[in-house]
A and B are shown apart, each in its own frame.
Chain A
Amino acid sequence: MENLFLVFIALPLVVGGAVLVGAWLLAKIMPGDAAMAKAAAAAQAAAVPARGPDYARLTPRRKSAFRTGLAVLLGLALLTIVEFYLAALGSVALMFVIIILKAALIMVFFMHITAVWRTEEAH
Chain B
Amino acid sequence: MTAVAESYQIQTRRNRMGFWLFFLSESFLFGGLLVARYYLWGNTRPSMEDTVIGPLTIGYQIIPLAITAVLLLSSFFMNRAEVAIANDDRKTFSRSILLTTLMGLIFLLGVLVFEWGWKTVDGQLVLGRHISPTDGVFGAVLYGMTGMHALHVLSGLVLLMLVWNLGRKGHFSPEKHWGVEATAIYWHYVDLVWVFFYPAIYLIGVGMKVTGH
Contact = CB atoms under 8 A, between A and B. Distances in A.
Q: Do A and B bind each other?
A: yes
A59 B165 CA distance: 25
Interface in B155-187: 157-158, 161-162, 165-171, 173-174, 181, 184-185
A118 to B, nearest CB: 8
Interface in B72-104: 72-73, 75-76, 78-80, 83-84, 86-91, 101
Contact of A11 (B84, B113, B203): B113
Interface string A20-44: 1011001100100000000010011
Instruction: From A12, A16, A84, name the one whose CB has the most chain B CB atoms within 10 angstroms.
Output: A84
A44 B80 contact: no
B119 A77 contact: no
Contacts of B86: 58, 65, 123
Contacts, number: 163
B105 interface: yes
Given A44-B169, A84-B203, A65 B83 contact: yes
Contacts of A15: 105, 108-109, 112, 154
B162 A30 contact: yes
Contacts of A115: 16
A107 to B, nearest CB: 7
Interface in B48-73: 61, 65, 68-69, 72-73
B16 to A, nearest CB: 6
Contact of B91 (A30, A51, A123): A51
A99 to B, nearest CB: 6
B72 A43 contact: no
A99 B185 contact: no
Contact of A113 (B20, B118, B120): B20
A19 B105 contact: yes
Given A87-B199, A99-B196, A102-B195, A22 B158 contact: yes
B11 to A, nearest CB: 11
Interface of B: 9, 12-13, 16-17, 20, 61, 65, 68-69, 72-73, 75-76, 78-80, 83-84, 86-91, 101, 105, 108-109, 112-113, 118-120, 125, 154, 157-158, 161-162, 165-171, 173-174, 181, 184-185, 188-189, 191-192, 195-196, 199, 202-204
